[in-house]
Structure 1
């Protein structure tokens, strides 16, 4: 179950680097918020797949579920409830504002993952 996959790890590093570039240099709503959220679920999928030998579809759906849970917690202002509304690390990790478009971005990112993983399986067999 625990192993190291260089290809997924390399992809995760690239995606993480892109996320940093977006966070530092982009301020427009599409790239920073939509594209950044789309890429973060792909990053999470690749990062998990680089360390654990699991079925890709299950990982993808788990990442999507996790992302939705975080977004729903934002809707209910979880940081305020925990007294962490001024904690910069908590804000970076959990976010602090609900946006339904984030759910669309997460779904689109996981759809891309599922499509690419399915193409990979088809080309191998």
Structure 2
């Protein structure tokens, strides 16, 4: 079940850096809220795939459900209910405001992941390689 895939880990680290840069330096109405949500599901997916030997689709669905769950918890003001509103890290990680469009960004991010993985797998099959796990 445990494995290490350096290419997924490197992508996860790069996406994490991008997320931090977005959070620190972009205060716009498009990239920070929506592109950030799109990218974060790819980041989580790559991090999981870097260490866990779980197939693409179950991993992608887990990431999507995890993201939806966090968004719903934002709807119920989880940060405030836990008394964590003073902690910036808790507000960033858990989030503080529910947005329906965030669910769309998460969904598009996961669909993008599945598309990329499917095309990568198809290329390997077409070139005589083995299927990705």
- TM-score interval, smaller chain: over 0.9
Runs (4 or more) in structure 1 with deviation over 3 Å come to none
Q: Which runs of 5+ in 1 are unaligned?
A: none
Other-structure match for 2:2: 2
CA distance in 2, matches of 1:98, 1:32: 15
CA distance in 2, matches of 1:14, 1:82: 31
Matching of residues 1-125 of structure 1 within 5 Å: 1-125=1-125
CA distance in 2, matches of 1:19, 1:51: 20
Higher helix residue share: 1
How many residue pairs are counted as aligned between the two chains? 125
Report the aligned-residue RMSD: 0.9
CA distance in 2, matches of 1:65, 1:98: 15
TM-score (norm 1): 0.96
CA distance in 1, matches of 2:46, 2:105: 17
1:54-109 CA distance string (max 9 Å, x none): 10111111000000000001001112222222222211110011111110110010
1:16-70 CA distance string (max 9 Å, x none): 1111111111111111010001000000000000011110111111000000000
CA distance in 1, matches of 2:20, 2:79: 23
CA distance in 1, matches of 2:109, 2:46: 12
Q: Which runs of 5+ in 2 are unaligned?
A: 126-133
